[in-house]
Amino acid sequence: MPRPVEAARPHEVNGFWFLVRRVPAEFATYDTRKLVRQSTGIRSVDDPRAVRAGEVVTKLHAELIRYWKDKRRGRDRDGEARYEQACNRARSLGLNYVPAADAAVNLTLDDILRRFEILTRRGTADSASEVSAVLGGASAPLVMLDDMVDEFEEIIRASLRSKSIRQRKKWRQPKETALSVFVDLVGNRPITLLTRADALRLRSHWQDRVVAGEVQIGTANKCFCHVSTMFRAINESKQLKIV
């Protein structure tokens, strides 16, 4: 089991505060750099006690850890952006976006032919972006169950702007706790593979704990709602179309 990632702190380099981190052994296969240096853009003379720099370093460090985890899982954020663009483009043309791999199951032959006719009528058969949108050339993003808190935080980041690092940690803690229970019950997997049975299993778990007197019903409801709220937000934001 990998050791917990150490907390980041500012380092002074040539008069500026930097994030300086060695690449952890668990990520060395995915990042060949020995040492990562990222500037905060804050001069040490302007922030001698590294108060502002500390907050920036914490954010840079979180992004770096996410980058390493993405690399390890083979996650492609550029591919996710292409998928979102394809969905939006298809909608603008009056179409539901359907990945090519799912077309045979979700579209009739008439639907498929109509999509080819749209490209021909618009004269965009040579446009890679429009062909991708109409014919489903971009794959849906892979979001793992244990990444849901990070994804949810990114989706509602505007509403969290005013929170301090400590407040964000307090905001995340109950969601991480609720999610860890779900992962323990059904295993870590892409959220596109979750089923109604998985949701019922989670609800039954909390009901059993309430009946056994282990938790209050209010606590059980909050834990279940944390998971369902994050799932709905991610499903809608990434246009995964999970029913």
What are the structural domain ranges in the chain? Answer: 1-74, 77-135, 142-243
pTM over 0.85: no
Mean pLDDT to the nearest integer, 159-183: 93
| Residue 87: HSE in the Cβ half-sphere, 13 Å Cα cutoff | 15
109-122 vs 128-135: helix crossing angle, rounded to 10: 160
Model pLDDT, residue 64: 92
Give residue 6's pLDDT.
58
- Between 106 and 219, where is the model more confident? 219
Residue 4's pLDDT is 47
Q: Is 80 exceeded by the pLDDT of residue 156?
A: yes
* pLDDT at position 79 over 90: no
On the 0-12 / 13-18 / 19+ scale of CB atoms within 10 A, 85 is: middle
**pLDDT score of 67:** 87
On the question of pLDDT at 47 being above 60, the answer is yes
